[in-house]
Structures are given as C-alpha cells and as structure tokens.
C-alpha cells in the first residue's frame, strides 16, 4: 500500500505546468537599468566614503603631529 502511494505521488505533479511566454516574465530593459543604477550608486557611495575616511584620518594625523610639536616630550622622561 505504501509503495502504491509513493508511485501515485511521483506521477502527479504538485504544481501544474504553466505555459507562459518567457519574454513576458523577464525584467527586460527596465530591470537592467534599475540594477545598473543601483550598482553605479553603490560604487559612488563607496568611493565617497573612502575619500571621507582618508580625509578624517589625515586630519587626525595632522592634529597629532601639531600636538607633538607644540608639547615635546620632556628629556627626563
């Protein structure tokens, strides 16, 4: 009985096949352009954030160097 049930499940598809035009279900030009704009936006944001991080790091190094020059360590320490 169990084997009969298994064979019956294998023969009947759980989801019936749907005949559709593959061109009507693709994202097309609009989907490509949307993906392209998102990717370009991500690249622009990454480049901008890299510049900002470098600028902040450089300013911190300059402030540290100026502090060392203004307050040199004492010779006895």
Q: Considering the domain boundaries, does residue 6 fall inside one?
A: no
For residue 76, pLDDT beyond 60: no
pLDDT at 31: 93
What is d(CA 33, CA 29) in angstroms, rounded to the nearest whole number? 6
For residue 8, pLDDT beyond 80: no
Tokens of 69: 């020059």
The total number of structural domains that make up the chain: 1
Q: Considering the domain boundaries, does residue 3 fall inside one?
A: no
Q: Residues 36-46: pLDDT tens digits?
A: 999 999 999 99
The answer for residues whose C-beta is within 8 angstroms of residue 34's C-beta and 6 or more apart is 27
Q: Considering the domain boundaries, does residue 74 fall inside one?
A: no
Q: Per-residue b/e over 54-66, b at no fewer than 16 CB within 10 Å?
A: eeeeeeeeeeeee
């Amino acid at each position: 009985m169990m084997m009969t049930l298994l064979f019956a499940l294998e023969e009947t598809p759980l989801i019936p096949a749907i005949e559709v035009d593959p061109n009507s279900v693709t994202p097309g030009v609009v989907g490509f352009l949307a993906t392209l704009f998102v990717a370009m936006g991500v690249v622009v944001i990454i480049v901008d954030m890299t510049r900002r991080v470098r600028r902040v790091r450089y300013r911190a190094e300059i402030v540290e160097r100026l502090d060392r020059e203004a307050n040199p360590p004492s010779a006895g320490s």
